[in-house]
A and B are shown apart, each in its own frame.
Chain A
């Protein structure tokens, strides 16, 4: 299923989430971890792709922080 392409490892996702839980008893089901890994992957890819579109609109060969800054607000609103 997810053999192609890079992605977030389940163990990493689990640790990232658990880092911020306020209650020690909070746990995450394995399915939820997989789904969150996908969610994070989309987040990163969306940020990257929107950055690319911005750079293309500005006729630039490279996505720099300036382009990222322009797409960040809408990205955060969409998530």
Chain B
């Protein structure tokens, strides 16, 4: 019983850390919008956006997991993310374009690595390590 509550404590602290990280990024983005539109955001507003974003992540994550499982996969891919963006046409269009941009950039990076054998091996090892890290998180 004590272990269970200690585990729960750990999970809550971990969540707090993630929330703080989200809050920081939200703050940065709000600053950019504020500068661009010449409008201020109250601290409570930034905190509220941060909270909503964190909660929305839960919905996103659960949906993505279900989409992948429905397609009989255990790895979520970009098709699942596109399905997530289906509710607004402009959002879907933007996400689809971004997906192509990302694929293009990754393709170019791979092409560069092939041209440089020495440093390429190091970068390839790093990207493999990053992929493994992404998979092993959680």
Contacts and interface: CB of A to CB of B under 8 A. Distances in A.
A34 to B, nearest CB: 5
Interface residues of A, number: 59
A52 B22 contact: no
B37 A52 contact: yes
B105 A1 contact: yes
Interface in A40-77: 40-45, 47-49, 51-52, 55-56, 61-65, 67-68, 72, 76-77
A47 to B, nearest CB: 5
Given A5-B32, A52-B33, A68-B45, A21 B61 contact: yes
A19 B130 contact: no
Contact of A32 (B42, B77, B91): B77
A61 B40 contact: yes
A25 B134 CA distance: 12
B81 A35 contact: yes
A46 to B, nearest CB: 9
B77 A29 contact: yes
Interface stretch (B2-10, B49-57, B116-124): B49-57
B28 interface: yes
The list of the 8 closest CB pairs from A to B, nearest first, reads A18-B138, A6-B28, A20-B61, A48-B33, A62-B40, A17-B61, A27-B135, A78-B88
17 contacts: A12-B21, A17-B60, A21-B62, A31-B77, A31-B99, A35-B95, A35-B98, A36-B60, A39-B60, A39-B81, A39-B85, A44-B26, A44-B53, A48-B41, A61-B39, A63-B42, A68-B45
Interface of A: 1, 5-12, 14-36, 38-45, 47-49, 51-52, 55-56, 61-65, 67-68, 72, 76-79
